[in-house]
Amino acid sequence: MFALMETARLESLHFAVDPLTGLQAIIAIHNSRLGPALGGCRYLPYADTRSAIDDVLRLAKGMSYKAALAGLQQGGGKAVIIRPAHVENRGALFEAFGRFIETLNGHYITAMDSGTSSVDMDCIAQHTQHVTSTTAEGDPSPHTAMGVFAGIRATALARLGSDNLEGLRVAIQGLGNVGYALAEQLHAAGAELLVSDLDHNRVQRAVVQLGARPVANEALLAIPCDILAPCGLGGVLSATTVSQLRCSAVAGAANNQLASADISDNLQARGILYAPDYVINAGGLIYVALKHRGKSLVAITAHLTQISRRLTEIFGHAQADKRSPARVADAIAERLLYG
């Protein structure tokens, strides 16, 4: 276990069980150099404890990098609750998790993530103040979309020489909470939209409301366009899919878009500019972190401009050093986290 933690450069790992509610939870604090660790809580059925530990380690590290590049005084952490096959009282389980968080004295702040809702966060909030994205705080997705929109402009400027999106062809994979809000902003800015989603109703809505052109799911990645915006699941950029891309740049909301780190070099070799996912999709994190600190919506919106500034800085270094933007972003994050 210690070797695993050292490899991940993890600060601490915390476990809790509560037989009364069925809680089995793990909290990973990756790096708190810049502030208390903040990161979502997943509630998923894991095959075994090792898979849950692997997941929480990987995700906690990602949060440190994301918070550092977003200019937040926040460290990176993550929690997983192993979802039992049957749970008697979900509210009681999340309350028990709230008591667990409270024992860490503010070193970890939790938030909504896969499998959890703002109602679960409300249960946690009954026992600790170290929780964000409660029902009172609202959905961070619109802020993620605003950040991605600003990031697309920065990407267009760097790759195509202008941040005017009028007439730009943007292909969006996934029209969920973030993807649809992004599509609305792009439409308002005059972009031409090509869209796909596993849910046909979401595609239809974009066709009717935004004049988007529907594309079959399996064809979207290879569609000719200026910017490809992956806003569905992670892992969409593999050696195979990158060889099929016909876009100038990739800039979207999905987490962990690169199937592996070296795929960023494939994109670079093909002349496709890649906006590192954890930089461009940091709007939601900025929202929950600053909201938790009591900042106003005006201050939060102003902080979102960090995203395009940071991307422009990364693209500049990448061009000068002939390196992929993903590798430049990692290097900047590591400098901020480890000095």
Binding site for ligand NAD (CB under 6 A): 140-141, 144, 173-179, 196-199, 202, 217, 231-234, 253-255, 281, 284
DSSP string computed for 55-95: HHHHHHHHHHHHHHHTT-S-EEEEEEEE--SS-S-HHHHHH
Binding residues: 174-179
Nearer to ligand NAD, 246 or 335 (CB): 246
Query: Shortest Cβ distance from residue 174 to ligand NAD (Å)?
Result: 3
Q: Is 295 a catalytic residue?
A: no
Backbone torsions φ then ψ of 307, nearest 5 degrees: -65, -50
Query: Shortest Cβ distance from residue 181 to ligand NAD (Å)?
Result: 8
Query: Shortest Cβ distance from residue 20 to ligand NAD (Å)?
Result: 32
Query: Shortest Cβ distance from residue 121 to ligand NAD (Å)?
Result: 14
Pairing of strands 169-173, 192-196: parallel
Nearer to ligand NAD, 25 or 178 (CB): 178
Identify the three-state secondary structure at position 113.
coil
Going from the C-alpha of 238 to that of each of 82, 198, 241, 331, the distances in angstroms are: 29, 20, 5, 22
CB 213 within 8 A of CB 195: yes
Identify the three-state secondary structure at position 140.
coil
| Residue whose CB is nearest to ligand NAD in the complex, by number | 176
Binding residues for NAD(+): 174-179
Nearer to ligand NAD, 1 or 216 (CB): 216
Nearer to ligand NAD, 231 or 332 (CB): 231
Q: Where are the beta strands (DSSP E) in the chain?
A: 12-18, 23-31, 37-44, 75-82, 108-112, 169-173, 192-196, 213-214, 227-230, 249-250, 273-274
Q: Which of 331, 281, 319 is nearest to 158 (CA)?
A: 319
Which residue do the tokens 């933007």 mark?
Answer: 325
Nearer to ligand NAD, 44 or 160 (CB): 44
The conformation of residue 274, written as its DSSP 8-state character, comes to E
Catalytic residue selected from 61, 78, 295, 322: 78
Tokens of 276: 């590192």
Query: Shortest Cβ distance from residue 200 to ligand NAD (Å)?
Result: 10
Q: Which of 338, 339, 308, 300 is nearest to 137 (CA)?
A: 300
Residues labelled catalytic: 78
